[in-house]
Amino acid sequence: MNRNINLNLNLSPRVVLALGIAGLVLLALLAYLLLVGPLLGRLSERAQERDAKEAQLAQLDAQVRELERVRDNAGPLGQRLLELNKRVPSEPEVPTFVVQVQEIATASGVTQIRIEPGTPGPPPQGGPYSIVPITMTFEGTYEDLRDFLLRSNELARLVTINSIAYEPVEAAAGEEDLAAVGLEPTLSVEIEAEIYFQPEAGADGPAPTAPETTTGGGETTTVTEETTVVQ
């Protein structure tokens, strides 16, 4: 028995259009996933590689500029190091330093100068040189102190000022207060400093005598004490 079945699909134009659009969207999505997506991924990787190379080139360029700056300053820096080396003797030479300080104290107008050297030792951070701590006390005006510090920078010996403390000297009974009459008061000053020396290779044994010198009232007293240089 034969039966003829006729299926009549009556689709409206809108349905056909919607199905066509859906098919196109599906094809576009498949094309993106299969072609465009991987291509964009490769482009992103290339962009990242380019950025990394540009950053590396910028770093290398900065290093080249720094090396050029060091090269250009090598002459002045070498001259400066040579000058500093001349100001660092091979032995403590504290007596010589004391004489130099007395000279700038007289020139700057400070009085009652007292110089107390400490025990020489190595620098905290290490290095091929030794440090002699120095405590200096004296009296003078603020301008005297300023002049003393400026002159200390010009000493033949390299000196580092670590700290400065000062306070007005109290007027003795019966003396007029200088500040009250508009004059610059006298200050009692204490300076903590360091001087340096660079022992020669193979040098050993005790250091030269470290003196303690007090100058005041036109008299100078020198007390000698033994110290040991830690190399």
Best-predicted range by mean pLDDT (26-30, 87-91, 133-137): 133-137
* Mean local confidence (pLDDT), 63-87: 69
Whether the per-residue pLDDT at 11 is higher than 70: the answer is no
| Helical segments of the chain, H only | 13-31, 37-86, 94-108, 142-152
- Mean pLDDT, all residues of the chain: 76
Query: How many Å separate Cα 164 from the centre of its chain?
Result: 20
Q: For residue range 188-220, what is the model confidence (pLDDT) as tens digits?
A: 999 999 999 988 765 544 444 444 444 444 434
- Return the axis-axis angle of helices 94-108 and 142-152, rounded to nearest 10°: 140
In three-state secondary structure terms, 160 is: strand
Spatial distance between the Cα atoms of 229 and 122, rounded to a whole number of angstroms: 9
Using the predicted structure, report yes or no on whether residue 62 has a pLDDT greater than 70.
Answer: yes
For 196, list phi and psi in degrees, rounded to 5. Answer: -130, 155
pLDDT top residue among 22 and 224: 22
pTM comes to 0.54
Say yes or no to pLDDT of 59 above 60.
yes
pLDDT digits (tens, 9 = 90+) for 110-125: 999 999 999 999 888 8
Between 40 and 126, whose confidence is greater? Answer: 126
Indicate if the pLDDT at residue 95 is higher than 50.
Answer: yes
Q: Which residue has the tokens 């009296």?
A: 139
Residue 118 identity: G
- How many residues comprise the chain? 231
Architecture of the CATH domain 94-197: 2-Layer Sandwich (3.30)
Indicate whether 173 pLDDT > 70: no
Please report, rounded to a whole number, the percentage of residues in the chain having pLDDT higher than 70.
69
Report the C-alpha gap between 107 and 109 in whole angstroms.
Answer: 6
Report the distance separating Cα 143 and Cα 31, nearest Å. Answer: 86
With H, G, I as helix, E, B as strand and everything else as coil, classify residue 43.
helix
